[in-house]
Amino acid sequence: MSAAATARKPVRRPVSIASFAQADNVRRENERNEVEMLQPVVAEVFANIGITKDDIGFICSGSTDYLIGGPFSFVTALDAVGVWPPRAESHVEMDGAWALYEAWVLLQEGEIDAALVYSFGRSSPGNLSEILALQLDPYYLAPLWPDPVSLAALQARALIDAGKATEEDFAAIASRSRKDAMGNPKAQVASDISAESLMKDDYVVSPLRRHALPPITDGAAAIVLAAGDKAREWSDTPVWISGFDHRMETHSLGARDLTSSPSTAKAGEVAGVADGSIDVAELHAPFAHQEIILKEALGLGNGVRINPSGGPLAANPIMSAGLIRIGEAAVRIASGEAGRAVAHATSGPCLQQNLVCVLEGE
Amino acid sequence: MDDETTTEERGPVTTLATPIRLDFEFTPGIALSHFLRGLERGKFIGQRCPKCGKVYVPSRGSCPTDGVPTTEEVELGNTGTVTTYCVVNVPFAGQSIEIPYICAQVLLDGANLSFMGLIQEIPTDQIRMGMRVEAVWVAPEELTPSLASVKYFRPSGEPDADYDTYKEYL
């Protein structure tokens, strides 16, 4: 690790999470295409605060064409918003959390005061394990088609061998997530089941049992960001982004210590996670053991409420699960349940790339 | 491979073949399913935007101008206007039609979105913008939920459409 101290990066212009909406997270959208799935979510995120697309200065989306095997699905998805007359728009081939980062950077510049961010993804049309194998290094890893569950199992095994976790810890995380998901009407996997019962699951790839894996989910989400007067105009209880950063690690899994997440730690430092106490953390840990790694990287104590929404073990819509973490954390602050929260998003195998967003109420 | 040669002699690797194949199930969606089921019955089915009143054929379920669901179904007729066209003279792999042939954008009467169609039963040098055409469907027993149900369009014999009627759709 570099000896250079990482400086806390101050936010130049306060931006608020003005509205959040998400689709029902389901195993399979049988009838609706992406546009039909996204349109009601975009309509809801506007209706929540009584605005229209005309109040928005910028649109940014996160999605990947690999999920449905159709070219330029992010262009057709714009039909869900309606972009005539022409609108300022951008897209990232990343989880919507990174689309939100791009919109936030633009808002920092001060040219616009509001942005729409959305993401969507249907994992059901293809074979997700094969699709995700193709995000790996194309020369040495991708030709071996390592599936994401096997790669995550390598990481979980390393964590156990390092004495940092046990299989019972994974079951306890899954049990808590499923119970919390019972309070989340949008969740896909929710049940009151004990860790002891979950330990009876078979291994999918040892040491990961079924419950330590995320569900396969079709879903979509949207957030409206607001700055300046609009933030207060659209909400009596604005939720401010007080710190924001993302970092990534090498493509080569063999060159990483999979039991820790230095990219999350660094993003957390720059975003100022430790500048105050954290009440709630929404962590994008698709596999149960990754929550343990992220908790350590962000320096979260046992008093922090982790994934009250149920988290990605309750619903893991690819390309939206990170954006949903930011939305869910904001909801906790807006409702007064939390004063300060951290939201996290990940991308790539074994937590390769990580984004940290700190949110605060007033 | 000859074990006697060294890496230096063989030179750097410049190409690596890593075959990739992914299979997907296509979900056309609710609106497009109505359009495809229409083709199966030999009909063009579009949808109207409740806000701007435009009729999209095919519709993807949301008005690209207003971003609202296009729920009102509209059955369109068999005739339309050529808004623009090209004559294909280039042979390519998998070509199923004898060149030269005409590929055109056809605006069905009552629609606000043109789509691509083949124009036949006319010498290629007689095609023109504004030409009135009608759809020729495959035999009833060959109809499927696919644009392949439309064999091609041919001149309807009506006088050419006035430019003002299709200038917005170029």
Residue B89 CB contacts under 8 Å (≥ 6 apart), including other chains: B99, B100
Structure token digits, residue A297: 């990287």
pLDDT at B2 over 60: no
Q: Both B92 and B111 in a single domain?
A: yes
CATH code, domain carrying B153: 2.40.50
**Chain A hits for B66, Cβ within 8 Å:** 82
pLDDT at A172 over 50: yes
Q: Both B99 and B41 in a single domain?
A: no
Is B15 contained in some domain?
A: no
Cβ separation of B22 and A127 shorter than 8 Å? yes
Cβ separation of A42 and B67 shorter than 8 Å? yes
Is B8 contained in some domain?
A: no
Cβ separation of B67 and A39 shorter than 8 Å? yes
> ipTM of this model?
0.88
| Rounded mean pLDDT, A162-178 | 98
What digits encode the pLDDT tens for the residues A336-359? 999 999 999 999 999 999 999 999
pLDDT at A256: 96
Is B118 contained in some domain?
A: yes
Number of domains in chain B: 2
Return the C-alpha torsion angle A242, A52, A338, A303, nearest 10.
-70
What percent of chain B is predicted at pLDDT more than 70?
Answer: 98
Is B38 contained in some domain?
A: yes
Cβ separation of A29 and B63 shorter than 8 Å? no
Q: Both B57 and B119 in a single domain?
A: no
pLDDT at B96: 84
**Chain B hits for A130, Cβ within 8 Å:** 22
What residue of A is the nearest CA neighbor of B71?
Answer: A36
Q: Both B46 and B106 in a single domain?
A: no
Q: Both B84 and B144 in a single domain?
A: yes
Is B107 contained in some domain?
A: yes
A-to-B residue pairs, Cβ atoms closer than 8 angstroms: 91
What residue of B is the nearest CA neighbor of A81?
Answer: B67
pLDDT at A1: 43
What digits encode the pLDDT tens for the residues B16-34? 888 899 999 999 999 999 9
What digits encode the pLDDT tens for the residues A296-347? 999 999 999 999 999 999 999 999 999 999 999 999 999 999 999 999 999 9
pLDDT at A288: 98
Domains in chain A (CATH in brackets) are 15-127+216-234 (3.40.47.10), 135-210+239-360 (3.40.47.10)
Of B46, B76, B106, the one marking the end of a domain is B76
Q: Both B94 and B38 in a single domain?
A: no
pLDDT at A10: 82
What residue of B is the nearest CA neighbor of A145?
Answer: B20
Of B17, B42, B76, the one marking the end of a domain is B76
Q: Both B62 and B129 in a single domain?
A: no
- What is the band of A4 on the pLDDT scale with cuts at 50, 70, 90? low
SS3 letters across chain A:
CCCCCCCCCCCCCCEEEEEEEECCCECCCCCCCHHHHHHHHHHHHHHCCCCCHHHCCEEEEECCCCCCCCCCHHHHHHHHCCCCCCCCEEEECCCHHHHHHHHHHHHHHCCCCEEEEEEEEECCCCCHHHHHHCCCCCCCCHHHCCCHHHHHHHHHHHHHHCCCCCHHHHHHHHHHHHHHHCCCCCCCCCCCCCHHHHCCCCEEECCEEHHHCCCCEEEEEEEEEEEHHHHHHHCCCCCEEEEEEEEECCCCHHHCCCCCCHHHHHHHHHHCHHHCCCCEEECCCCCHHHHHHHHHHCCCCCCCEECCCCHHHCCCECCCHHHHHHHHHHHHHHCCCCCEEEEEEEECCCCCEEEEEEEECC
What digits encode the pLDDT tens for the residues B93-107? 888 888 999 999 999
Residue B162's domain spans which residues?
78-170
Is B69 contained in some domain?
A: yes
Is B6 contained in some domain?
A: no
What does pTM read for this prediction?
0.94
Q: Both B100 and B153 in a single domain?
A: yes
What digits encode the pLDDT tens for the residues A27-50? 999 899 999 999 999 999 999 999
**Chain B hits for A79, Cβ within 8 Å:** 60-64, 67
What digits encode the pLDDT tens for the residues A79-115? 999 998 899 999 999 999 999 999 999 999 999 999 9
| Rounded mean pLDDT, A11-16 | 94
Q: Both B35 and B106 in a single domain?
A: no
Q: Both B33 and B107 in a single domain?
A: no
What digits encode the pLDDT tens for the residues B65-87? 999 999 899 999 999 999 999 99
CA distance B33 to chain A (A): 9
Distances (CA, A) of A130 to A134, A149, A284, A286, B24: 7, 11, 21, 17, 11
Q: Both B140 and B130 in a single domain?
A: yes
Is B145 contained in some domain?
A: yes
* Burial grade of B142 (CB within 10 A; 0-12, 13-18, 19 or more): exposed
Q: Both B133 and B160 in a single domain?
A: yes
